[in-house]
Amino acid sequence: MLNIKNLKITLDEELSKDRNVIIIPHMGIDFDAIGSAIGLSLIATKYKKESFILVDDPIHKIDPGVKIIIDESIEKLGTNYINKNKYLENTKENELIILTDVNKSNLICLEKEDLKDKDIIIIDHHNEDINTFNTEKKYNDIHVSSASEIVTKLLCTLKIKYKEDIANYLLAGIYLDTKRFSQNISSDTMKLISKLLENGADLNKVTDFFSEDIASDQRILELISHATVSSYSIATVIGDIGNEYTKEEIAKAADYLLKYRIDAGFAIGSTSLEDNTVSISARSKGKIDVGKVMQQLGGGGNIYSGATKLENTTPTDANKMLQKVIRPNFYIDN
């Protein structure tokens, strides 16, 4: 594994070659993945290399704040984005792949095969497993707060100047992965946050990216308004037929149910109308093992939280299946 100085040397070498750069964040793109990816595309630009950020998440599944950053970066910075099909159509043998905020093939939109002869650099802060790409050019430190922290450090090491927009995106990445600056902060993280602020980052703008989207919040409240409480003090909400929800919305609805005087809450809704996929999220206050309930439906979790995804069904039928497997024996004796 590389240290930051070796990573600088590696980038120096790899970005001096005549090639395009493809920056790959994880699927389910979040603030850290996008912030670090945009920072890396700036680095590629400084080496006069054309770079593309590979994003293949369906637009409606992208967090609204992340979507704002993507749109802003296109408009203000001219950042290039590419989807999976476009990438596969135009891929060139000698291109440089940089994975950021991810190191595993099962968490990106491409197959391991697609990258088998490619030059790959990994910049990450996650555990590795059998799906991790095999490359010498890897900077993966699980003790660092975020990929955005690593890229901020890289910008400092490479003495690359950047504007306030990029400072904001990187700060948003650190903000997310430190749970609003409350976890996993080292003195190095603080120094780099300070650098970002010196470069014009504005915490008000960053927290704005994280604001709830009114439309999405209203959909969750709409879901909640249909809640029914069955026997065993279990609340269930079923999404409108023909309405598509994100997994996060379903999860938030289940979270929300626990505000009420119930033992457990289940939220059910279509997450893909095209594939007839229905997701169920389950939350419990501890009396019911909702992980076990979700296991009965092919999912999993623990006592307090669980989820499953059902194919080829409707929310109504998914609810029937759910009600059948909710039995008193999932109550925990105490």
Q: Which residues bind Mn ion (CB under 5 A)?
A: 32, 101, 146, 177
Q: Which residue is nearest to Mn ion (CB)?
A: 32
Query: Does residue 206 contact residue 168 with C-beta atoms inside 8 Å?
Result: yes
E runs forming strands in the chain: 21-24, 51-54, 81-82, 96-100, 119-124, 138-140, 228-230, 234-238, 264-272, 277-284, 300-301, 305-310
Q: Which is nearer to Mn ion, 201 or 288 (CB)?
A: 201
**Helix/strand/coil (H/E/C) assignment for every residue in 80-129:** CEECHHHHHHHCCCCCEEEEECCCEHHHCCCCHHHHCCCEEEEEECCCCC
Minimum gap (Å) between residue 290 Cβ and Mn ion: 27
**Residue 177 Ramachandran class (φ > 0 left, ψ -120 to 50 alpha, else beta):** alpha
Nearer to Mn ion, 177 or 249 (CB): 177
d(C-alpha 265, C-alpha 29), whole Å? 28
Closer of 101 and 289 to Mn ion (Cβ): 101
As to burial, measured by CB atoms within 10 angstroms (0-12 exposed, 13-18 middle, 19+ buried), residue 272 is middle
Q: CB of residue 177 vs Mn ion: minimum separation in angstroms?
A: 5
Return the number of the residue (65 or 265) whose C-beta is nearest Mn ion. Answer: 65
Task: Indicate the residue among 63 and 177 with the shorter CB distance to Mn ion.
Answer: 177
Provide, rounded to whole angstroms, the least separation between the CB of residue 82 and Mn ion.
21
Closest CA to 309 of 284, 283, 277, 282: 277
Q: How far is the CB of 96 from Mn ion (least distance, A)?
A: 21
Task: Please state the closest distance from residue 101 (CB atom) to Mn ion, in A.
Answer: 4
- Closest distance to Mn ion from the beta carbon of 106 (Å): 16
Q: Please, which residue, 66 or 224, has the CB nearer to Mn ion?
A: 66
